[in-house]
Amino acid sequence: MAKHRTIFTDTHDPQTKESFAAAALRVLSRPDPIPVFELAAMPQVSRARYDDARRRWHGELEYIEISMTAVPLADLRLLIKYNPYNPRPRRGMWIDGPSTTGKTALARYVAYQLYRERTKNGRDLRTASGDERVPVMWIDVDGVATLKSLAELMCEYLNAEKTAVLTKGRGEPGYRLVNEAKKWATRCETELIVFDDVHHLNNSSAQHDNLGDLLKNLATVLPATILMIGADLEKRTGLLNEGVAPSYAQTPSTKRNGGALLYPLPYSSKQDMEEWRKVLKGFERRLVLGRDVRGMLTDHADQLWEWTGGYMGGLQTLVSFAANIAIDENDDQITLDVLARAPRDLATQRGWR
């Protein structure tokens, strides 16, 4: 069998492993903060490069662990660590919750860490057999997903051959693609397979029953952990109960999948407020600005919760925009006026109104 080839090199296409790798390694290239008086003296070209690096950094701030996510983070890490040794079928995991509650960010946080560990920060990209090492497969599910299209995405992510599989051989092409993807995932030592936005799937309808079978089959065949992310998965997809009413769900798929429900952070008790301030301090520590960042967010804790409703994803978006506005227009200072100018996503606005 031919060695695994590297074909795609587009780090801007989110559906490639190269793009995932670039994002996973970005945390290693955090720009060092430079005081504002030194920034003012920098040559124009150097300053432009530095500011661009800071904007990229703020565009995807590193995830902040909070009390709500402590258990799912620990569970997911244990599954990844021990699933290769467990009997088949192996346990998977799902993360459910409203939009912008940080589901995808949590998964990326663990997936990026896994990639850095297994590849030694991008320096060890070959398995012992000489194939490309791909610890994580990340698949974004669209609204018209079929068994064939999902299998094609898996093959494309791994750079596995599709043309010959589609034109030759017996059996339905979708299943042949699935087998090709499974073969290469094993050779590439893939340990975590993430399906994001799986609420687009409707496993309760007959045409999507085989998608649930695909997920079960992957968990059975591969020494990998399957992670499903989406909104209101049990009601909207039936994936957690294989398309039958929850009261009748006595299936292996339901029993072996652990789960986590994320929700907006509350802000009513003293403990809630302390947790919220802890989150804001975490974001402050991640800012790369030329001024003392302490208090830039925590001084406006009440207003920030009112604007975001406690949605972690919405807060991260707001902080990212505010930091870059501060770089370009406010002398590296985040103020309440700068925060007020930062765009807020619709899901967040609806959440607190």
pLDDT digits (tens, 9 = 90+) for 68-113: 999 999 999 999 999 888 877 677 899 999 888 999 999 999 999 9
Task: Give all domains of the chain, ordered by start, each with its CATH number.
Answer: 31-62+267-352 (no CATH), 67-261 (3.40.50.300)
Task: Yes or no: say if 244 and 238 are a contact pair by the CB < 8 Å rule.
Answer: yes
User: By C-alpha distance, which of 219, 160, 211, 213 is closest to 191?
Assistant: 219
Candidate ranges 16-30, 174-188, 329-343; pick with highest mean pLDDT: 329-343
Alpha carbon distance 34, 37 (integer Å): 8
Query: What DSSP string describes 180-226?
Result: HHHHHHHHTT--EEEEE-GGG--TTSGGGHHHHHHHHHHHHHSSSEE
**What residues form DSSP beta bridges with 94?**
228, 259
Alpha carbon distance 202, 51 (integer Å): 44
Q: Which pLDDT belongs to residue 68? A: 92
Query: What DSSP string describes 67-109?
Result: GGGHHHHHHHHHHHHHGGGSPSSPPEEEEE-STTSSHHHHHHH
CA dist 119 → 29, 181, 188 (Å): 16, 21, 12
CB atoms within 10 A of CB 64: 20
pLDDT digits (tens, 9 = 90+) for 269-287: 999 999 999 999 999 999 9
Q: Which pLDDT belongs to residue 192? A: 96
pLDDT digits (tens, 9 = 90+) for 207-250: 555 666 777 777 777 888 999 998 877 666 666 555 444 443 33
Phi and psi at 168, nearest 5°, equal -130, 160
Q: Is 265 helix (H, G, I), strand (E, B) or coil?
A: coil
Model confidence at 15, pLDDT cuts 50, 70, 90, reads: confident
State the virtual CA torsion across 150, 152, 157, 162 in degrees, nearest 10: 160
pTM of the predicted model, to two decimals? 0.85
Model confidence at 174, pLDDT cuts 50, 70, 90, reads: confident
State the virtual CA torsion across 91, 125, 113, 257 in degrees, nearest 10: -10
Q: DSSP letter at 260? A: E
Alpha carbon distance 71, 77 (integer Å): 10
Spell out where the chain has E strands: 92-96, 136-140, 192-196, 225-230, 257-261
Alpha carbon distance 74, 76 (integer Å): 6
